[in-house]
RNA sequence: GGAGAGGUGCCGGAGUGGUCGAACGGGCUUGAUUCGAAAUCAAGUGUACGGCUUGCCGUACCGUGGGUUCGAAUCCCACCCUCUCCGCCA
């Protein structure tokens, strides 16, 4: 959520910033609602003041044993006026909140222009895609050949966009997850957390998935009102909701492994084959909660932490800065990590690292006590995949495949695979 | 699933209709004392929104939402959450 004060005082600048995303802010509607709100607010406050003063004098008169009937008559009609004013104010405030809750975050000035992913800017590349002296297979062929990935049986059980992993491939994904958690906790200073996979709408509002993106979420059909998490970002970031943190505890750095559930509404026909885009996938997520001054540096750190995973796995990747039109609702700046997939001869997203500044903090009411002012101030939140395990599995399979259909195990994963160096075709 | 208790400020904890934004204690900040510290003493210490003479004033907030009342932290209703005991259970 944007700062209401900023919306009031700099609405044109806000509008211009959001226009870069392709978001059109209805300034007239906002100004209209805001001025009505203010007028009603002053009116209602005044009425309440009058009522409070009279009520107080009734109490005093009563205590002295005086006749209170004239006072009661005087205050009588104030109540009706007040009730009417309060009703109108409530309506306007609700409309205003609805409007403001649907406005995306302001973009950082360095975000490149552009409408969609074709305008994203490559910042750097690491590693060199391997030269193969045989015909490379994609993960689907590799998985089906060895029986490690079974889309057909998954479809029987749950429908399309699910996969069943078996044997060494299932274990390889688990190895990737364990490896990532160990690196982030052991080398990067993160605290591992285990969190709910079902969350309340409040939590989803806090991180910005609601109210606008309900279609992307799975809701459970029962007597409790919960939805499946689309990313660990939701429960992990909400760890600091409704709090005033001591400045000394910042920065907080959390890592969590969770499954993620996405309905992928509106993505029909996109990546329908294979494990790239599933309703359910595993991810290791990184979250930073920092003082505002540290946010920019934290984004670089978090991105570097995710990159370290790909480097240790020796997977070629590139880093791109998302352009204005491709940045998510709550982020002011985002870097994507794209891993090389030989099966597609393309770099594909495997991590997305975002600085949300105070956007989520304001929705969650997550604050810290500023040392200089002594006042509570909003924290800044950042999140990024470190990294998506399902896609990492694909990347390892495709990049480490051999002519005979076997897959070499990356050196750093071997301890997690019982010392095995090669996965046989089963 | 059954029975009970409870949700108040940074924390603990009073408060059952009026002068309660809220006693008291702890914490924290500042000052006094000290060579310094501890101890002690004194003062201060919530959040949000709004008004204007920028320092004050006003309004709201005691789990959430309704209701009763001139007036609600306090009474009534619904809901949410937490805890304890019993049962069941990975």
In strand B, the nucleotides that come within 7 Å of a protein beta carbon are 10, 18-19, 46-51, 58-60, 66, 70-71, 81
Same domain, A208 and A137: yes
Same domain, A122 and A96: no
Model pLDDT, residue A184: 98
The residue count for chain A: 426
Where is the domain boundary, A101, A129, A148?
A: A101
Which nucleotide C1' is nearest A56 CA? B18
Which nucleotide C1' is nearest A79 CA? B70
The reply to whether A277 belongs to the active site is yes
Same domain, A406 and A276: yes
Same domain, A146 and A291: yes
* Rounded Cα gap, residues A367 and A221, in angstroms: 34
Which nucleotide C1' is nearest A64 CA? B18
How far CA A96 is from CA of A29, A42, A102, A134, A226, in Å, comes to 9, 17, 10, 61, 26
Same domain, A322 and A218: yes
Binned at pLDDT 50, 70 and 90, residue A370 comes out as confident
Q: What is the pTM of this model?
A: 0.91
Say if A302 falls within a structural domain.
Answer: yes
- State the complex-level ipTM: 0.80
Length A261 CA → B90 C1' (Å): 23
The reply to whether A352 belongs to the active site is yes
Determine the number of helices (DSSP H) and then strands (DSSP E) in chain A: 12, 17
Range of the domain at A41: 26-101
What single string gives the DSSP state of each residue in A245-271?
A: E-GGGPSEEEEEEEEEE---TT-TTSS
Where is the domain boundary, A67, A101, A135?
A: A101
Same domain, A160 and A44: no
Contact A280, A259 (CB under 8 A): yes
| HSE-up (13 A, CA, CB side) for residue A189 | 9
What Rg, from alpha-carbon coordinates, does chain A have? 27
Say if A380 falls within a structural domain.
Answer: yes
Length A194 CA → B89 C1' (Å): 22
Same domain, A86 and A160: no
Among residues A144, A311, A349, A369, the one annotated as catalytic is A349
Where is the domain boundary, A101, A131, A165?
A: A101
The reply to whether A54 belongs to the active site is no
Which nucleotide C1' is nearest A41 CA? B50
Length A199 CA → B1 C1' (Å): 24
Instruction: Name residue, tokens 């903090």.
Output: A361
> Alpha helix (H) ranges present in A131-247?
139-146, 151-158, 167-186, 201-207, 233-237
Which residues make beta-bridge pairs with A282? A259
Binned at pLDDT 50, 70 and 90, residue A390 comes out as very high
Among residues A171, A262, A348, A367, the one annotated as catalytic is A262
- What are the tens digits of pLDDT across the range A155-168? 999 999 999 999 99
Length A225 CA → B81 C1' (Å): 14
- What are the tens digits of pLDDT across the range A75-123? 777 777 888 888 888 888 888 888 888 999 999 999 999 999 999 999 9
Same domain, A176 and A304: yes
Which nucleotide C1' is nearest A38 CA? B50
Length A298 CA → B74 C1' (Å): 48
Domain count, chain A: 2
Contact A252, A289 (CB under 8 A): yes
CATH of the domain at A324: 3.30.930.10
CATH of the domain at A39: 1.10.287.40
Model pLDDT, residue A356: 95
Among residues A48, A54, A241, A277, the one annotated as catalytic is A277
Same domain, A122 and A237: yes
Say if A252 falls within a structural domain.
Answer: yes
Length A222 CA → B88 C1' (Å): 21
């Amino acid at each position: 959520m944007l700062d209401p004060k900023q919306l009031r005082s700099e609405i044109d600048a806000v509008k211009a910033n959001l226009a870069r995303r392709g978001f059109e802010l209805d300034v007239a509607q906002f100004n209209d609602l805001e001025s009505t709100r203010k007028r009603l607010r002053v009116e209602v406050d005044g009425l309440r003041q009058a009522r409070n003063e009279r009520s107080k004098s009734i109490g005093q008169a009563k205590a002295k044993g005086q006749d209170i009937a004239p006072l009661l008559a005087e205050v009588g009609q104030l109540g009706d006026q007040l009730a009417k004013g309060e009703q109108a104010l409530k309506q306007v405030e609700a409309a205003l909140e609805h409007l403001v809750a649907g406005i995306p975050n302001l973009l950082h000035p360095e975000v490149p222009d552009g409408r969609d992913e074709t305008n994203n800017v490559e910042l750097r590349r690491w590693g060199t895609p391997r030269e193969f002296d045989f015909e490379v297979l994609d993960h689907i062929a590799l998985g089906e050949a060895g029986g490690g990935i079974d889309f057909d049986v998954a479809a029987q059980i749950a429908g399309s966009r699910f996969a069943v992993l078996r044997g060494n491939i299932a274990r390889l994904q688990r190895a990737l997850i364990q490896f990532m958690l160990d690196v982030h906790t052991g080398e990067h200073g993160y605290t591992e957390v285990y969190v709910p996979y079902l969350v309340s709408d409040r939590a989803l509002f806090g991180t910005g998935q609601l109210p606008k993106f309900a279609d992307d979420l799975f809701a459970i059909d029962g007597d409790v009102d919960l939805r499946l998490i689309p990313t660990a970002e939701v429960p992990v970031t909400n760890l600091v909701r409704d709090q005033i943190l001591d400045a000394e505890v910042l920065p907080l750095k959390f890592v969590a492994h969770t499954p993620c559930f996405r309905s992928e509404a509106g993505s029909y026909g996109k990546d329908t084959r294979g494990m790239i885009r599933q309703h359910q996938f595993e991810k290791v997520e990184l979250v930073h909660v920092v003082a505002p001054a540290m946010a920019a540096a934290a984004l670089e750190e978090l991105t570097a932490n995710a990159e370290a995973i790909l480097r240790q796995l020796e997977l070629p990747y590139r880093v791109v800065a998302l352009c204005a039109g491709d940045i998510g609702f709550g982020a002011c700046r985002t870097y994507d990590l794209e891993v090389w997939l030989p099966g597609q001869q393309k770099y594909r997203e495997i991590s997305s690292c975002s600085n949300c500044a105070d956007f989520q903090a304001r929705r969650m009411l997550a604050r810290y006590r500023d040392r200089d002012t002594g006042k509570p101030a909003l924290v800044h939140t950042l999140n990024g995949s470190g990294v998506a395990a399902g896609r990492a599995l694909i990347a390892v399979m495709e990049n480490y495949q051999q002519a005979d259909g076997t897959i070499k195990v990356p050196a750093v994963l071997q301890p997690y695979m019982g010392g095995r160096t090669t996965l046989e075709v089963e």
